[in-house]
Amino acid sequence: MNAPAIDARKWMPYPSAGAAPTTLYCLPHAGAGASTYLPWRKELQPDVDVVPLQPPGREMRMRDEPFEHLTPLLDDLLSAMDGVWQEPFALFGHSLGALVAYELARRLSAGEGPRPAHLIVSGRRAPHHPSRLPWIRMADDPMLLEIVRRLGGTPDEILDDEQMRQTVLTLMRADLGVDQTYRYRPDPPLDVPITVLSGSSDSHVTMAELEPWAECGSAGVDIRLVPGGHFFVVTHRDTVLRRVRHCLVGSP
């Protein structure tokens, strides 16, 4: 397998070894980076090769300007990954990452690359439901900090450190901007199997916002509740990985 180009290596800091029968490309939630999915690699081997994707503005891409809109983010990702996708593959995304994965699957299925074999979206309302958060563009730093604390997923010791807090807020403002400037575009449903995972006690996603995912796919949409809140992918990781493995390789 040839080494990926420099742009692809930016998006794939932990590239595929190409040894597993299927590859799972994972997109992080708002404010998070590719390393979020590193614990998954050992758990899903040897059946699934987990390849975390790294948007700019975080971890080893800290100096790269984060995107504030979804279209240029996808343009950059698709350009970098052109000819690099390891088939067969699936896409996974949590929260904001679920939106990115969904729209990425749409563009790949429309001919901008190879079609994914499966799409797994997690902790995310259906794409045609708008955000219920206050408009981020109008929020000052104290308001944004309160929103970030309410969303969870960022340790208090980071938010209590002035320098680290400012870095987090800058990234979160951009990431949440991607979410809030997104406008759903009606298209034919994806001809890709979709699995939707959600925390049974997630206060950020209601069942009424989950059920319309059924309209997004024509090859089957399976909605599953997992114990836990919005970050059930962390608190109940074993349950999530069993479900992911079942989706991709059929084992219990």
Catalytic site positions: 95
| Residue 192 contacts residue 105 (beta carbons within 8 Å) | yes
Q: Beta partners for 190?
A: 217
Bridge partner residues of 226 (DSSP):
199
Token digits for 119? 């799409």
Distances (CA, A) of 221 to 37, 39, 150, 163, 249: 24, 27, 30, 43, 17
131, 98 Cβ separation under 8 angstroms? no
Instruction: Please give the full DSSP string across 218-247, using - where no structure is assigned.
Output: SS-EEEEEESSSTTHHHHTHHHHHHHHHHH
The CA-atom distances, in angstroms, between 146 and each of 32, 35, 133, 142, 161 are 17, 25, 11, 6, 15
Please tell me the distance from the alpha carbon of residue 164 to that of residue 37, in angstroms, as a whole number. Answer: 22
